[in-house]
Amino acid sequence: MNAVSCTQGRLAVVKRPAPTPGKGQLVIDVLRCGICGSDLHARHHCDALADVAAEIGYDAAMRSDQEVILGHEFCGTVAEHGPGCRKSAATGTHVVAFPLLRRGRDVHPIGLSAAAPGGYAEQVIVEESLTVTVPNGLAPDIAALTEPMAVAWHAVRRGGVKKGTVAIVIGCGPVGLGVICMLKASGIRHVIASDLSPGRRALAERCGADLVVDPTQDSPYAGCADRGHLVTAPAALELAVGVVEKLRRLPVPWEPLWRAAELLGAKPKSPVVFECVGVPGVIDGIIGGAPLFSRVVVVGVCMGGDQIRPAMAINKEIELRFVLGYTPLEFRDTLHMLADGKVDAAPLVTGVVGLPEVEGAFDALGDPKRHAKILIDPKRRAPEPASA
């Protein structure tokens, strides 16, 4: 079969033997595989990522001197069942798969380890137990977005956003756009998005953001004071003292009233800010710019070190929450939200390429003006050269 391998940062089309499924595994013919920001990171920084993984006990993450087939955002058709499969999905069924693979005693991330080749290929091995049948004839272009949209769904759920909460999305690449789609699918009324690129701001609007700002012109936090958020220290101090003063004027003890209000969930209004950029300085920029008591959900993966001002975060009681991946249930639910039309992720797809065009697609994705998500169609042939 044809595949695209990555070694020492170079991408090349290679021939590989057809994969053989192990016990409880399937081979699927890949219909579409998304190119993820993690793949762009992994191409040049996989050793740093592998060091982090090794520190927490996983030592088989991809290394630059290995030949790895990337790709963890795929959908395909069932081609072959390995021994011991329940065959719940017949040959030819469209499926997506939670991208983890068993090898002996270990579990590996598909497309990010030499031990589990990914979807930049005509075929890929997956666990039968982790596959989900694509319902409602959902198009492969959209089904392949299950994985990145599940990342967004997990982030939104971990953000604990309520319908009346103001949600602010910093960065409108595929992750930020996915978060916007999932926030709107959850009925969140005030979604503010910010990105430097006009192209990505236009996509944010198509994904349903209620207000889209160019951060060089406007602050995404500008309207927060008007919406009742505390944006200065004096405002927070005034609130604390003012509430006690009011309660103590009443002819009843103030402490039970305060406790009752706490039980009812009374607290300063706090927006949820989603960090979807992942470059140094962004988290500290949010800590400095966001209203007091904001919750910051960090979805963007910043490589290497970064600096924050803890004293600023403490003075504003900023809550920092880091999120990773999704659960198998969130993955399944995301596919069904896409297939039921509850969420429209179509604006994310800005291109489809064949295997020989993958390297060019990586270069194109490095420039945020034009692209969000590029999908690989492994069966697609290079476009015919124009005849003279």
Chain residues binding Zn ion by CB under 5 A are 36, 38
Query: Is 276 or 290 the residue whose CB approaches Zn ion more closely?
Result: 276
Tell the smallest beta-carbon distance from residue 184 to Zn ion (Å): 21
Query: Is 1 or 301 the residue whose CB approaches Zn ion more closely?
Result: 301
Distance of alpha carbon 318 from alpha carbon 307, whole angstroms: 15
Residue 270, Cβ neighbours under 10 Å: how many?
19
- The residue whose Cβ lies closest to Zn ion is 36
At 382, the amino acid letter reads A
Tell the smallest beta-carbon distance from residue 34 to Zn ion (Å): 7
Tell the smallest beta-carbon distance from residue 38 to Zn ion (Å): 5
Asked if 99 and 146 count as a contact pair (C-beta separation under 8 A), the reply is: no
Distances (CA, A) of 292 to 177, 267, 299, 329, 345: 25, 12, 20, 33, 32
Query: Is 79 or 172 the residue whose CB approaches Zn ion more closely?
Result: 172
Tell the smallest beta-carbon distance from residue 220 to Zn ion (Å): 25
- Rounded to 10°, the helix 233-248/254-263 angle is 120
Question: For 106, phi and psi rounded to 5 degrees?
Answer: -105, 155
Tell the smallest beta-carbon distance from residue 297 to Zn ion (Å): 17
Give the containing element (helix H, strand E) for 366: helix 358-366
Describe the strand order of the beta sheet including 190-194 as a list of residue ranges. 211-213, 190-194, 166-170, 272-275, 295-298, 319-322
Residue 271, Cβ neighbours under 10 Å: how many?
22
According to DSSP, residue 135 is labeled: P
Query: Is 99 or 220 the residue whose CB approaches Zn ion more closely?
Result: 99
Which segments within 113-180 are labelled E, that is strand?
A: 123-127, 131-133, 166-170
Distance of alpha carbon 255 from alpha carbon 380, whole angstroms: 69
Token duo for residue 77:
């058709």
Distance of alpha carbon 236 from alpha carbon 238, whole angstroms: 5
Query: Is 36 or 116 the residue whose CB approaches Zn ion more closely?
Result: 36
Query: Is 38 or 294 the residue whose CB approaches Zn ion more closely?
Result: 38
Distance of alpha carbon 112 from alpha carbon 174, whole angstroms: 19
Tell the smallest beta-carbon distance from residue 175 to Zn ion (Å): 9
**CB-based contacts of 90, cutoff 8 Å, min separation 6:** 78
Query: Is 149 or 343 the residue whose CB approaches Zn ion more closely?
Result: 149
Identify any residues that bridge with 14 across adjacent strands, giving them in sequence order. Answer: 3
Query: Is 38 or 113 the residue whose CB approaches Zn ion more closely?
Result: 38
Tell the smallest beta-carbon distance from residue 169 to Zn ion (Å): 18
Query: Is 38 or 64 the residue whose CB approaches Zn ion more closely?
Result: 38
Tell the smallest beta-carbon distance from residue 256 to Zn ion (Å): 50
Tell the smallest beta-carbon distance from residue 151 to Zn ion (Å): 6
Token duo for residue 364:
């194109």
